[in-house]
Amino acid sequence: MPDHASVHSGVSAAPSRPSLAERAAACPHDATFALQVAYDGAPFAGFARQPGQLTVQGELERALSVLLRREVPTVCAGRTDAGVHARGQVVSFDADVAELAGRTARSLQRSLNALVDDRLAVSRVVAAPRGFSARFDAVEREYRYLLFTEPFRPVLFADRAWAVGKPLDLDAMGAAAAHLVGEHDFKSFCLAASAAGKPTTRFVREVAVEPAEVAGEPAVVVRVVGNAFLHSMVRTMVGTLVAVGLGRRGPDWTAEVLAARDRSAAGENAPAQGLVFWRVAYEGALGRLLGGGDAWERAPWPCFGADAPTPASSGAGGADGDVRARTGHASEGGER
């Protein structure tokens, strides 16, 4: 398979947003925390809170309100739609030192997991710089989409994949995916109503179409990495690539779809259940703590110096960022 990585060609104008220092100055609480969250999207009506609906944000805020005895607003790295899963969603919230007195990262994690729906889990709790935003401070997001091509229903993964049921030409899909790498106007890949009057240029660092094996069954994984995503952008990309893989369109069709800047030019919106919000990248120490392993359990509270107070200590630390944002676009709706 070809290497679809590409060098970013430029920096687009971005909507103005408050800096971390400005957000810290406006923060009404002593400290900010980041939660890494995984969930089965099937029972949830999406991430964003909705009256009378089971949502991921609603569950997290309900649990936090029980622990902190007040309403606790949260910010996520990307609002997933109904049925979309997450392995590495990140959510931030603010709290006062006194509210979390005596709690460690591990005890807070356990308390939250005891209170939220069983289809939702908090995997890590990290002290972040005061004013940190899971959305605005993210520098990269990764989604993965699972496809099954066997001519029978994948009963063990029916709610985790799109059962295409036919062989796919992975070389053709890879060639089509190469057109999507780089900075482009992805208006053709965005839900039309969500694109109205909003910037639709995004930077996609990588689109890979790879064979895989899941529980002994052959499958295909589409991996998409970029700075931010539009509403239904990844699912529309997958639907378009599948049309190429089935031989209904040629690999160069994706370039034509991009140029059209019209949602009707692209392929179908792939089913929600095959999509997983895989990970979010951040700069510096916070990014490393959320990136894997159990270092988050041993990290001091705070990790970022005495200006980020915590219940446990006021230690020092921090590091220079090692990941740089490609463009400054804020995420808008759906997959971001």
Six-digit token string for 333: 């709706």
Active site residue 81: yes
53 neighbors 65 (Cβ within 8 angstroms):
no
- Beta carbons within 8 Å of 302's beta carbon, 6+ residues apart: 31, 127, 308, 309, 310, 313, 314, 315, 317
Question: Position 201: which residue type?
Answer: T
How far is the C-alpha of 265 from the C-alpha of 279, rounded, in Å?
A: 29
DSSP string, 93-148: EEE-GGGGTT--HHHHHHHHHHHS-TTEEEEEEEEE-TT--TTTT--EEEEEEEEE
How far is the C-alpha of 54 from the C-alpha of 156, rounded, in Å?
A: 24
DSSP string, 244-272: HHTTSS-TTHHHHHHHHT-GGGS-----G
How far is the C-alpha of 78 from the C-alpha of 142, rounded, in Å?
A: 11
How far is the C-alpha of 336 from the C-alpha of 333, rounded, in Å?
A: 7
Q: Of how many residues is the chain composed?
A: 336
Q: Among 3, 30, 40, 81, which one carries the catalytic annotation?
A: 81
47 neighbors 55 (Cβ within 8 angstroms):
yes
331 neighbors 229 (Cβ within 8 angstroms):
yes
Tracing tokens 């606790």 back to the chain, one arrives at 72
Which amino acids are annotated catalytic?
Answer: 81
